Amino acid sequence: MFIYAWLIFISPLVGFVLSYLVGIKYRNWSGIIASTSIGLSLLFSYLTYLQVNAVGPIHESVHWFYSINYGIYVDHLSLVMVLMVSFVGLMIHLYAMHYMGKDPNRHVYFAETALFTAGMLGLVISSNLVFFFLFWELVGLCSYLLIGFWFFKPNAASAAKKAFIVTRVGDLLFLAGMALLYTHLVGFNGLNGASPLSIPYLIDNAGLVAAHVGKTTLGIVSVLFLAGAAGKSSQFPLHVWIPDAMEGPTTVSALIHAATMVTAGIYMVARLFQVFQASAPFALESVAILGAFTAIFAGILGLVVNDLKRILAYSTISQLGYMLAAIGLGGFLTIGYSGVAYGMYHLVVHAMFKALLFMTAGSLLLAMMELRDVRRMGGLWKRMPVTVTLMFIGAITLAAIPPTAAYFSKDAIIDAAWTYFTGSGFGFISFLPWLFLVTGALLTVLYTFRMFFLVALGKPRSKLAEEAKDPPLHVQIPLFFLAAFSLGFGIWQSHFYDYIMPSTPIPSAPIYIEAIPWAFIVIGVAVSYYLYGTERWKHFHFAGNPLYRVVKNKFYIDYLFTNIIAERIILPLSAAFSTFESHYNTSVDVVGRDTMKLGTFMRRIQDGIIRNYFVVLISGISIIFILMEILRLI
Amino acid sequence: MFLLAIFILSILVAIGSFALMKRRREYSIIASAAVMVLTVVYSLIHFASSYSGGYVSISNIALSPSTGIYFSTAVTGFTAWLLILGTVIIFIATLIIRDSKESKTIYSYTLIAGTGLYGILISRDFLFFYIFWEVVLIPVYFMIGQFGGKNKDSASMKFFVYTQFGSLFILLAILTLYNFYSVSHSGLLTFQMSALLNTAFINKIPVLWKDFLIFGFLFGFLVKMPSFPVHSWLPDSYESAPFPGTVILAGGLSVMGGYGLFGILLPVSGIFSTDVLYVLIILGIVSLIYFSLTAMFQQSLKRMLAFASAAAMGFVTIAFGAGILEAGTISASAYASANIYNYTTFYSGILELSGGMFQIVAHGLIMAMLFASLYFITERTGKQTIMNLGGIFREVPVLSSLFLAGLLASLGLPGLAGFIGEFSIFVGSFQAIGWVIFFIIFGMIVTASYHIWAAQKSLFGPYNETLGKIRDINSKEISILMGLLIMIFIIGIVPNLVYVPLVSYIAHLGGIGAL
């Protein structure tokens, strides 16, 4: 049997090389080559899907170095991801051929996005944590390069740096988790020849591993993995890099910072769910709480920014929080692995509508000459009807208004959180996820429609907005696909759940609980229409409000990282070390100089006068004799 | 004999280069390339498939049997890789010599340094080991003194005296061994490593002398690495040296230090008490953090990279200490039936020990690439401080990309060589030192930060228009950097090329007495 799965990530790798080399001469071909290679990935993903249906999970592993293997592992979970990544990646690449169509370095762009897609697909299907980590860093690298794609913009260069360093912190904690796990598994008889960091081994033998390693230790491992996921998926407090990452081209934001790469962390937790589950309960509890908290936290931040792309960025962080929380809810026994199904379903739905939102935002920004302030837009529904209608579809999906797909995916998570609360004895801690998530739902509606009404309704508030026009229809074809998915994917809810885990229950809650999100939708839309659907928002001034200031300053988290940790701790530390180093260096020089001076002084003794030598000789011998006498006396 | 032939060839070409009046550049490039290619061929023959540990190409040429002077050579899987690395470094160094009328002798110096390095790595006799050890220093001293930049006189003097001071302790340690071997062990006069490097014998030496010789070896090797606190020659020498000299310093001298630890001392790891090993681990961690934080504050890219190089060598010291600590005494019996592909039986310490050796190889290549690309940047812009560059990506995209690739390799990005070594050391040392690895994490975060920060400030952002128009590198220069990058990439993707000989080397260390 020929394993197509290898080709899933090899195809875009080839696309990376070709699109760059061909693009040096023929710029326009690079986009076509990159898109084709990703189209082929989609094809191979489909073939693999058929193969997995026929023969079950595919696992191939080859010795890499020492006790580490590389290889692929494809099961239902990874298939869902590869299909999503290659499909959304293809759509975004097709759109990017229009969006980046005039950039002089577009061959570099397409080469890098193809490399990114290869990395992402490789990450999803890799069978060993170290191999996984290789792709994990590769996508991080591509993210770094693509955020800084317009490298001459100081903001872009600085955002790229921030993204790299913040995710690096998470990555190294992830690595520490691997080190801890590896150390405890080395020499374990139950390995039966598997590499200690093999993913299929870990998830199939999680109980065995937990018994050998100890539940608490495995819990620490899990929390370290979670830290890695938080860096990649920008969960609190490592979320700070995504909003800045919006300095990159909008298609990059769509591909990397909305649909695919940022879900890598979520995927990692889902992939290793069994490990999290087998370890001490605090592992999955922290997953649930962290996710739910980020959902509400980023939602609050999303309310006050005016940059179109940053609003979307915060909504991404918030939605990622939902996915993570859903997986964390699996810590409650009756939810179990279904939590992964809920989370993954939201992940796929989110990828579709967020890619759609970002690309419509890209069309808007092309028309608005990269002016991203929503307060300067307005009235665009009339001027760009197709784009804004597509954005509307994205917005109602984001707000989880029935019958869009996100309604099904998100309400399931909120209801599951209610089950989590009621099922685990009404504890306060288990109440938090539901509370955060349901409040987050209100915030989602508020910031979504604040953004949408500011963009679409009212009168144009700038010259650029007055003259904005739709891009040609044919370049928008990918967006129609995504819009169709956003609207219609809900009908596959139970199929999707069952594909991840057979006979997953669709969560439900008492009707008065289920009604709360619906009520929030009505309230949210009404409030945002009241404020932002008209020009009333201009008459409200929050600037003096201290609470508003705190939120506007992003709860001072960025301030803490940049101004306190980086500038007040690390930099002075570095200055201190550096000063010490230069003093130390000088002192060595001084020792050297003094030794030379000593040499100069000693040279005088050898003055060549025999008489003096005799004096020294005689006195030396005398001293030795005297000393010997003294020693004998003692 | 093949090995000896290559070595003699490298001596001859080095001497021959003095006689040459014209076309020294072509001559030395071809000569160093020939030595490099022959070494690779040699290594392929002996280590590609059939190597299973121990020494190969053993030869003993008796020079003066009565005083115990032999010229003995032998190579292990580890030294084979160091030989490849050393010859590559010398080759790269000859390629980046700025050609001018005055630069006649610098080619010869480079070739002599290469010969010395070769001699160190293949000698299995302490006398010749020490002679070649000194042979490397002299040409580098002249290189800095004659062709160096700012403060070249004091820098070259400092380099020479400082490293000479380190070597002196090695000499004393060797003489101590020599003396005790003949006086109290066997009555034979010999400098043979196979005889002198014997754990049982060394452990019988009176404790004060034994401590002295351990100190002497460690001091001499750590100076070369360099490790905190014996690194003071490093920043000035790196900065003053011409670029080929810097490449030799970064690639060659660290190889000497690393070879000293893993090639000379690892086979007698039983002589170390745990206290010494802890001291080594601490020195490694302190080096990593101290050099990283110091590097962060440097204005000059060259000086920054000098500290980055020293920080990366901190990993090697950690690996050495942690590996021996974890493995206990490395002896034949511990690894008697070591099947390195059998994951069900693990041999403690192998991961970080081979990671440490891997790191030496990776570090040499990465530093050669970084300094070579920095040379091209400096040559074009005349600047090497971060603040005086800025946005040069716009003007020299290819050169900037390659420099960036070097920086990424240096900070340990997976897929490139630096990662495998750091991963192995990081994961492997966990067992020996536990949560102390959080200090390593801190060091790695700082490392990533200043690398990326330097890239942002010097390569990206708005172009510094005062630099004027600069041209991108030509295809010859690209091929130099690409060649290094491809090596770094291949080793990072197929680490077993390096890993298998290293693991075999460690697993069979117990057979040392057989030589």
**Tokens representing residue B226 in the block:** 């360099």
Contact A151 B426 (CB under 8 A): no
- Compute the Cα dihedral for A80, A82, A83, A86 and give only its sign: positive
For the stretch B21-39, pLDDT in tens is 778 888 888 999 999 999 9
Query: A570, B296: Cβ pair inside 8 Å?
Result: yes
Q: How close does chain B come to A585, measured CA to CA in Å?
A: 6
In chain B, what residues touch A586 (CB-CB under 8 Å)? Answer: none
Mean pLDDT, residues B84-98 taken together = 91
pLDDT at residue A124, as a whole number: 93
Inter-CA distances, A137 with A54, A141, A162, A196, B414, Å: 33, 6, 15, 21, 6
Inter-chain CB proximity B229 and A578 less than 8 Å: no
Shortest Cα–Cα distance, B487 to chain A (Å): 17
Which one of A65, A221, A570 makes the best mutation probe of the B interface by having the most chain B beta carbons within 10 Å?
A65
Tokens linked to A451 = 């953004």
Residues of B in Cβ contact (< 8 Å) with A195: 343
A·B CB contacts under 8 A = 148
Contact A186 B346 (CB under 8 A): yes
CA dihedral A454, A458, A460, A462 (to 10 degrees): -50
Task: Count the Cβ atoms, other than its own, within 10 Å of residue A320.
Answer: 32
What's the rounded Cα separation, in Å, for the pair B183 and B132? 27
The pLDDT score that the predictor gives to residue A33 is 92
Question: Under an 8 A CB cutoff, do A66 and B445 touch?
Answer: no
Q: CA of A244 to nearest chain B CA: how many angstroms apart? A: 15
Closest Cα in chain A to B393: A151
Contacts of B236 in chain A (CB under 8 A): 585
- Residues β-bridged to residue A192: none
pLDDT for the residue B267 = 85
Helix (H) or strand (E) holding B152: helix B152-180
Residues in A closer than 8 angstroms to B451, CB to CB, are none
Spatial contact of A551 and A300, defined as CB atoms under 8 Å apart: yes
Question: With 50 as the cut, is the pLDDT of residue B405 above it?
Answer: yes
Q: Give the chain B residue whose CA is nearest to the CA of A592.
A: B158
Q: Which residues contact A19 (CB under 8 A, 6 or more apart)?
A: A29, A30, A31, A33, A34, A37, A107, A110, A111, A114
The residues, any chain, with a CB within 8 Å of residue A226's CB and separated by 6 or more, are A269, A283, A286, A287, A290
Instruction: Name the residue facing A574 among B236, B297, B460 (closest C-beta).
Output: B297
Q: How confident is the model at residue B347 (pLDDT cuts 50, 70, 90)?
A: low
- Report domain extents, chain A: 128-184+198-537+546-552, 560-633
CA distance B156 to B426: 35
| pLDDT exceeds 70 at position B20 | yes
Confidence of residue B330 (pLDDT cuts 50, 70, 90): low
Residues of B with Cβ-Cβ distance to A109 under 8 angstroms: none
- In chain A, which residues have their Cβ closer than 8 Å to the Cβ of B298? 578
Model confidence at B486: pLDDT above 90: yes
What are the tokens at A275?
Answer: 């490990």
What's the pLDDT band for B345 if we cut at 50, 70, 90?
A: very low
pLDDT tens for B372-386 read: 999 999 888 888 888
Query: In which band, very low, low, confident or very high, does the pLDDT at B329 lie, cut at 50, 70 and 90?
Result: low
Residue B64 host element (H or E): strand B56-64
Q: Give the pair of three-digit tokens for residue A484.
A: 């169709």
The C-alpha of B204 sits at a distance from chain A's nearest C-alpha, in angstroms, of: 31
Cβ-defined contact of B294 to A138 (cutoff 8 Å): no
Please determine, for the modelled complex, whether the ipTM score is greater than 0.85.
Answer: yes
Separation between Cα atoms, residue B451 and residue B253, nearest integer Å: 23
Looking at the partner chain, which of A137, A158, A192 has a beta carbon nearest the beta carbon of B456?
A: A158
Residues contacting residue A370 through CB under 8 Å, at least 6 positions apart: none
Please list every residue in chain B whose beta carbon sits closer than 8 Å to the beta carbon of residue A63: 341, 496
A598-621 in b/e form (b: 16+ CB < 10 A) is eeeeeeeeeeeeeeeeeeeeeeee
Q: What per-residue confidence (pLDDT) applies to A354?
A: 92
pLDDT of residue B515: 29
Q: Which residue has the higher pLDDT, B72 or B512?
A: B72
**Furthest C-alpha separation in chain A:** 116
How much is the average pLDDT of B35-59?
85
Radius of gyration of chain A (CA): 31
Q: Which residues sit opposite A68 in a β-bridge?
A: A65
In this prediction, residue B326 carries a pLDDT of 82
pLDDT of residue A459: 84
Looking at residue B510, its pLDDT comes to 54
User: Would the CB atoms of A183 and B431 count as touching at under 8 Å?
Assistant: yes
Chunked mean pLDDT (size 10), chain A, 634 residues: 87 93 89 92 93 90 85 91 92 90 88 93 92 93 91 88 91 92 82 83 89 91 94 90 89 88 93 92 91 92 89 93 91 84 92 92 86 83 88 91 88 89 80 90 91 86 83 88 89 87 83 88 90 80 80 83 84 88 86 84 77 84 88 76
pLDDT greater than 70 at residue B356: yes
- Whether residue A276 contacts residue A287, with contact meaning beta carbons closer than 8 Å, is answered with yes
Contact flag B293-A577 (C-beta cutoff 8 Å): yes
Q: Which of B161, B391, B459 sits opposite A592 (nearest CB)?
A: B161
Give the C-alpha separation, A299 to A443, whole Å.
6
Closest Cα of chain B to A308: distance in Å?
A: 24
Question: Do residue B456 and residue A157 have CB atoms under 8 angstroms apart?
Answer: yes
Closest alpha carbon to B491 in B424, B408, B415, B426: B415
Task: Give the pLDDT score at B92.
Answer: 92
User: What is the Cα A76 distance to its own chain's centre?
Assistant: 22
Binary contact (B296, A571; C-beta < 8 A):
yes
CA A584 to chain B, closest CA, distance in angstroms equals 8
Taking CB atoms and an 8 Å cutoff, what residues of chain B touch A134?
A: 414-415, 419
Rounded to the nearest angstrom, the minimum Cα separation between A389 and chain B is: 37
More confident call, B54 vs A257:
A257
Residue in A353, A300, A291, A299 with CA at minimum distance from that of residue A323: A291
Structural domain spans, chain B = 272-515
Whether the CB-CB separation of A436 and A292 falls below 8 Å is answered with: yes
* Residue A325 contacts residue A288 (beta carbons within 8 Å): yes
pLDDT, tens only, A558-589: 888 888 888 888 888 888 888 888 888 888 88
Contact A137 B351 (CB under 8 A): no
Do β-strands A58-65 and A68-74 pair in parallel, antiparallel, or remain unpaired? antiparallel
Phi, psi of B59 (to 5 degrees): -145, 145
Q: For residue B229, give how far its alpha carbon lies from the nearest alpha carbon of chain A (Å).
A: 9
**B179: pLDDT confidence band, cut at 50, 70 and 90?**
confident
Query: Phi first, then psi: what are they for B123, rounded to 5°?
Result: -70, 135
Residue contact B296–A176, C-beta within 8 A: no
Q: Which chain A positions have a beta carbon within 8 Å of B297's beta carbon? A: 571, 574-575, 577-578
What's the pLDDT score for residue B346?
A: 55
Q: Given a cut of 70, is residue B513 above it in pLDDT?
A: no
Residues of chain B contacting A585 with CB distance shorter than 8 Å: 232, 235-236
In angstroms, the separation between the Cα of residue B448 and the nearest Cα of chain A is 7
* Cβ neighbours around A560 below 10 Å, total: 15
> What's the pLDDT at A100?
87
Question: Which residues from A are below 8 Å from B455, CB to CB?
Answer: 161
Average pLDDT, chain B: 86
Q: Which two tokens stand for residue B353?
A: 């020990």
Contacts of B394 in chain A (CB under 8 A): 151-152
Q: Which of A11, A196, A194, A192 is nearest to A117 (CA)?
A: A11
Instruction: Find tokens 């061929």 and name the residue.
Output: B41
Neighbours of B72 (CB within 10 A): 25
Please state, for a pLDDT cut of 90, what percent of chain B lies above it: 37
Dihedral sign, Cα of residue A617, residue A623, residue A625, residue A627: negative
Chain B residues with CB-CB distance to A573 below 8 A: 293
Helix (H) or strand (E) holding B75: strand B69-75
Token pair in block for residue A119? 């990395």
Spatial distance between the Cα atoms of B108 and B88, rounded to a whole number of angstroms: 16
Nearest CA in chain A to B453: A161
Determine the angle formed by the axes of helices A215-232 and A263-271, rounding to 10 degrees.
Answer: 160
**Which residues in A lie closer than 8 A to residue B338 (C-beta atoms)?**
none
Any residues with CB less than 8 A from the CB of A574 and at least 6 apart, and which?
B293, B294, B296, B297, B446
For residue A172, give the nearest of B346, B348, B444 by CB distance.
B444
Please indicate whether, in this complex, the C-beta atoms of B448 and A178 are within 8 angstroms of each other. Answer: no
The DSSP result for B326-350, as a single string, is: HH-S--TTTTTT--TT-TTS--TTH
Structure tokens at A144: 């770094």
Chain centroid offset of residue B216 CA: 19
Q: Which residues contact B148 (CB under 8 A, 6 or more apart)?
A: B155, B156, B240, B241, B242, B245
Model-level pTM?
Answer: 0.92
